[in-house]
Structure 1
């Protein structure tokens, strides 16, 4: 964040709080969020009317009191690794002349048990000091691409990273069970087109995955499995009157999806102690395609921060922890003014057996040769449950995402990485996550 002068629109509010017109206030980021704690008390020289017997004015001084200091949860080294990993990966992607250029990326690492933000990196970054005292129109245009916190303010389609949530909803609802096989020939008929010809929704693997159970559906990121699961959740079949079903049952099914996403922190406020958060969206069009698209993360847009909160809930068993950047507020003389304690915002009741199946599928993503992130993590010194995501944009390259947590058996860190228009999640976001996790576990950063 950074400081700046009080704007005309806010002057009345700050004047009522005792600020002077020339005061500098926090206008962005942590400085704005914690302005009330960071502000000190102005000093003053008091000149009394009249003079003393010696003919001198009586002058007394009221000393200034410094504001408080903030102690952050961010680990400086892990933050540096995250920023460098984003920059290196974007440069690598952009070195390919055949690909669309990537303009930004973000990564967030969080302690899933406490909500402490361990790293929050946004590429490209910016020097907040440039904004102090105002900025010229020329510099504003130059800095405009980097002025946002991409982890907090820019929602993107999550793609396959929501498939563990789709599976969990299906397991909890009883429409599937772990060993139930769904055949994937590479496509699934869902309704008809305008000419009454069969309308197909395709798997990313057009050759199909064959017979797929719950765990393989996550490990191989099988679209057809999720499509069929969504139809069962929506109580849809080809024999039903589609017109009537669209009016009566589709809205119920989509609300069910939306509510479940919201319960896991997707599309709602995460509670972060930063003021610029954007909540994202869950989109519906009233068409049959809403269901399959919702099941694979194509009809939503969420932030990197929301995705890491969701991954944390899978790691900790359903507790939605409030993410916080600040750990402690201290007075200028080192005394603790306030300590930010872990806060559970909500809990989602989950059958432990169903959660275990989802987690095992996410482990297979990185640990089994057929897992979509196996090549990225196969030689890692730690176990990680993860999920890659590749979301179509309709504008060229797909969005690349990765979410996960580690170690698998005793989670200490959850992570989310987003590279818009970066291509495949396993190729673009996975390597970034790997570098951050390697630093966390190999350099003694972990608790």
Structure 2
């Protein structure tokens, strides 16, 4: 990455009053990853770089390798967010000055207000839930079940609209309850926040930290081991996504050790924690730990053939296979996943979200192996299973990579336009 590329990205982002979270949502990165890119500590992949350029209005060639000129000094002030037309004019002026003269860093960048996140109702709601009245426990549980069903079906836009009201009602019901009733409401509240954390992860939003922390607090207040395990898992995912993979592995391993393996439900939760820990270890390059955790999870899953999916991830042999593909991808040995994909029964995965995730990992595997046709075929299967899943930033970046790849693929341009990868 060019010496001054991070400064250019940061300067344009701040000039447009975009937060690091907003820019990350456009290209499949977390806010912390954008921060590392802007400090020239991390090099984004080509697909993500093109999406970043599109969001910032920077010509692609300006972000493609080599050094770029320093960005002109720009004073940012607290004013209302400019229109799209004004954005375009500002970008042209900024880039013209940057490329012609070169200058210094941004002045006052940290004080510029961030614009509202596009479609980021969940982000806003988690910090200010809408007013709500307490709700009877059966109705609250029904609302949580519907939210979970929406997530499993990958209806993320529906979920984003309904979750704030559910969380607000659950919070109000928790505050109004006492004794055993309060513990039960806490369990429902915890699971609602788990879904919120899962949705935030899909959106590459750092607000997942908030949802996961609240989920675990509510779960511990309720005292039931299954919600505690589920909340621990989403908290570990946020830790891993911020680069703290070893802390995530320790948290998951410790919680798994406290669950009773002999009971079906707690045993199944333990298996899902081990799977998440295996993938977390793989993202840190710890092959030995990752494979050992996978083997342990597979052994446990073989003992629970009759236990269905408990929450967002089920304990099954097929699920172990999906995680095994992801682990090999993360370890940089995608060729080891080919045999797993060949033997994987995708139809045995019970939800659209899980089937889409399996095809996503398969697409990443083929992409890493340089097989564009197989990558595109897998992406189309993702779309068939869950149309909203394929519009996620990470998958748009993958599609964008294919667009600029050496092989011309019939239908790819239409697919890219349909899924938002083609600006």
- The TM-score by the shorter chain falls in which range? under 0.3
Q: Which has the higher helix share?
A: 2
Higher RCO (CA 8 Å, separation ≥ 6 residues): 1
How high is the TM-score relative to the length of structure 1?
0.26
Q: Which has the higher strand share?
A: 1
